Amino acid sequence: MSEKLNIAMLFGGNSSEHDVSKRSAHNIYDAMNKEKYNVTVFLISKDGIIINAEDSWRVFEGEDEDAIVAAAKDKMDMSNPLAPIAVLGEMADIDFFYPVVHGNLGEDGTLQALFRLLQKPYLGPGIAASAMSFDKDLTKRILNQAGVRNTDYVLLTDQNYQDYTYAELVKELNSNVLFVKASSQGSSVGVSRVTNEDEYKAALKDSFQYDYKILVEGALDKPREVFISILGNENPRASRLGGIVLPEDDVWYDYNNKFVDASGMVFELPVELDQSLTDEITEMALKAYKALGLVGLTRMDFMIDNDGVPYLGEPNTLPGFTNISLYPQMWEVSGISYTNLIDELIAYGIAEFDRQNKLSYDFVSLGEEQMGEKQYNAEVAK
C-alpha cells in the first residue's frame, strides 16, 4: 500500500435511498483526513451501473446526475453483461473500499461480494452477515434463536398473502394496529402503519413493490424509540443511547421524519434511562451484533413499551451519515469525533480483511498435513 491509503468511496445505488446515500457521502468525504487518504468517488447509478471516476466526481460536485449518467452510458456497450462493472479497471490501485450505498446493493451482500472477488478490504460486515441483516425475516429468526427479544410477526409472501385478512392478523398478533413491512428494505421504505382492512390492502400493494416477502407486526402502544451505535469486530463497543421525540401529530418514525423534514423532531443525545434498562439494551445490542456475525459498524434500533420492556427492531449495517443521522452523532456524544470515527472504521475493515486472509480455502486432509505431501501420496498409492 502507498503511504496514503487510496480509498474508493461508492455512493448512490439503485435503491430508494439513492439521494440519502449522496448526502451521507458528502458528509463522510468532508470529515475524512486528507493527510491519510487519497479519496476517489464512484457513483452507482439509479439502474445499478458503476460510473467512471471522472463523471462520478462531476455528479458529486453537484452537476446534473441524469444527464451525466446518460452521456456515460452512451459511451458504453450496454449489450455487454459486464457493463455495470466495466470501470473496475480504474480501481486497480484502490487499497480500501468505503461503500456509502444504503439499501439494495449496498447492504444486502452484493457489493461485499464484489469487494471479496477483488480481494480488497472494505467497510462493514461481510457477505453473509450483510444479507441476513438486510432481510428482516432472517434477522428475526436469528434473533429468536439467540434469545434477543423482538416483536412478534407473521410472514407473508406473494404466494400466501391472500390467506390472511386484517382481522385474522389482528387476532393472531393481539394488536389492532399493525405494521406492514417489505422484508428487504431500509429507512422505512415499504413500511405502512394500518388500522383497518382497506389500509392493510393498500399497504400490501405498496410493500410488494419492493419485495416478495412481507412482515406484518403488531404495534407496541406508543413505544419510546431509542438507538445505539456499535463499533468494532471481535470485541465491539457500544455508544451511549440516542433517541427521538416525534412531533405531536406523528405516531411513528417514518421516511419523512428521517430524511425529508426533521424540523419538528427533537433528538435526545444522549438519552438518560435507568441504568438497568440502559445496560439491558446495550447487552441485547451486543448479543445481536455477535449472533448476526457483524463487524465494523451497525446501528441498532429499539422500542421500549409502556412497561419499560425493550424490543430490538432491526440492525442497520451501513447506517446513514447525513446531517441528522444518529450513528455518528451517538459516537460524538460518546467521545469519538466524526474524523476519528472514520479512521476507526477503516482500521476495522482492514483488520477483518487480514483476519479472513488467514483462513485456508485449499483442502488438505489431516493425514496429508501430518505425513507430508510426498509420503501421503506414496501411502495412498499402495
| The CATH homologous superfamily of the domain defined by 224-336 | ATP-grasp fold, B domain (3.30.470.20)
**Could you tell me which of 302, 150, 175, 146 has the C-alpha nearest to residue 226?**
302
Instruction: State pTM to two decimals.
Output: 0.90
Mean pLDDT across the stretch 319-327? 90
Q: What are the tens digits of pLDDT across the range 15-64? A: 878 998 999 999 999 999 999 999 999 999 999 999 999 999 999 999 99
Here the cell at position 213 is 416477502
Catalytic residue among 187, 188, 239, 334: 187
301 is in an annotated binding site: yes
Q: What are the tens digits of pLDDT across the range 97-112? A: 999 999 888 999 999 9
Question: Is 17 annotated as catalytic?
Answer: yes
Q: What are the tens digits of pLDDT across the range 338-379? A: 999 999 999 999 999 999 999 988 776 666 666 666 665 666
- Is the per-residue pLDDT at 207 higher than 70? yes
Catalytic residue among 17, 107, 225, 352: 17
- Is the per-residue pLDDT at 115 higher than 80? yes
- The residue with cell 467521545 is 335
Q: Is the CATH number 3.40.50.620 carried by domain 5-123?
A: no
Domain with CATH 3.40.50.20 in the chain: 5-123
**Could you tell me which of 37, 29, 31 has the C-alpha nearest to residue 2?**
37
Question: Is 379 annotated as catalytic?
Answer: no
Q: Decide which of 3.40.50.300, 3.20.20.120, 3.40.640.10, 3.30.1490.20 is the CATH code for 152-218.
A: 3.30.1490.20
316 is in an annotated binding site: yes
- Is the per-residue pLDDT at 241 higher than 70? yes
Domain with CATH 3.30.470.20 in the chain: 224-336
Catalytic residue among 24, 45, 130, 325: 325
How many CA atoms are closer than 13 Å to the CA of 123, on its beta-carbon side?
26
Domain with CATH 3.30.1490.20 in the chain: 152-218
314 is in an annotated binding site: yes
Q: What are the tens digits of pLDDT across the range 137-164? A: 999 999 999 999 999 999 999 999 999 9
- Is the per-residue pLDDT at 65 higher than 60? yes
Here the cell at position 85 is 462493472
Burial of 366 (0-12, 13-18, 19+ CB in 10 A): exposed
Residue 57 has a pLDDT of: 98
As a whole number of angstroms, the distance between CA 337 and CA 331 comes to 7
Q: What is the DSSP letter of 256?
A: I
